[in-house]
Amino acid sequence: MLLADIANLLGGELIGDGNVDLQDVASYEEASPTDLSYVESAKKLNTHSDAGALIVPRGLGIGRPGISAENPRLSFARAVLLFRPPRKFQPGIDASASISETARLGDGVYVGPFASLADGVVVGDGSCVGAGVHIDHDVRIGSECHIYPNCVVYADVEIGSRVILHAGVVVGADGFGYVPDEEGRFFKYPQTGRVVIEDDVEVGANSTIDRATLRETRIGRGTKIDNLVQIAHNVVIGEDCVLASQVGISGSVKIGRGVMMGGRVGVTDHVEIGDGAILGADTGVLKSLEGGKMYLHTPATEIRDARRRIAVLRNLPRLSERVNELEKRIGKLES
């Protein structure tokens, strides 16, 4: 592809020779003379790259051809799609799939081998249901979704449009609740609610989202969830949140809009996390948190205080020695 054409498609401004012929995309360090790459700041330009062309922030001078763009990282992500367009699936229903007579499939739907769709399932236009997926009765799936192989969606779940569920995701399994009965054994608390996954949500491989006890577990529009994440019953997550891998959200937690969670954040049950809160990896949330702030550590603490705490924690043996020394010194003074 010619650099001039790429600049045009990305809506960026051409720098230098537009006839440079590029064949692929690569990271700045690994790029060869036929690769397009990008930088986000001038600092990176101090290190070497063989990239044939660079997408750079507006106003940044580079000694080679390139494209200047408002947001080089976003433009580069779009360029990746130009060089490596995603394989289009062929619509069609695999002959081996098991589809209830009462299921309704939109136009351009793909259903893979050994997928099974139970009574009353609805799948919107252009959605893709991978091999071995099981969709239980009365599930509604919007348009242009991608349900990867071997996912399981329990009954009555509602999934919006452009939702991606990666392989092995389980949506709508029973929430975890029991009541001791008269003989002290666990009576299973019926989990009769449902799950709603709004538009543009993506859920990573082998993550689990439980159905509500009575009403609904809800994942807000645009929220992105990584692999091996647990979302318990009755949880409500707002729009445009990001939950990294191995996060665990306990029952009835309410999470606002635009909340970011690093890997393995854990949240205890029945707390609320305000809009725009940012939780560093491994943060343990034991109480409700105000939005718009950054938190770290367990118990979750605003980042400045958390960092101070971690700094002392790191040198705890020295603190202990200093107390030893103080005791000796004061002993001397006293005697």
Closest CB to its own copies among residues 34, 230: 230
Q: Cα(254)–Cα(194) distance, rounded to whole angstroms?
A: 16
Confirm whether 233 is a catalytic residue: yes
Torsion of CA 134, 136, 137, 139, to 10 degrees: -90
With H, G, I as helix, E, B as strand and everything else as coil, classify residue 204. coil
Closest CB to its own copies among residues 2, 188: 188
Peptide bond into 299 cis (omega under 30): yes
167 touches 186 (CB < 8 A): no
Catalytic residue among 48, 233, 270, 297: 233
Closest CB to its own copies among residues 100, 108: 100
Q: Cα(203)–Cα(293) distance, rounded to whole angstroms?
A: 25
Closest CB to its own copies among residues 5, 174: 174
At 307, the amino acid letter reads: R
DSSP 298: T
Bridging pattern class, strands 158-159 and 140-141: parallel
Residue 202 token pair: 């993506």
Least distance (Å) from its own copies to the CB of residue 151? 8
Closest CB to its own copies among residues 17, 327: 327
- Measure CA of the first residue to CA of the last residue in the chain; give whole Å: 86
Length of the chain: 335
Active site residues: 233
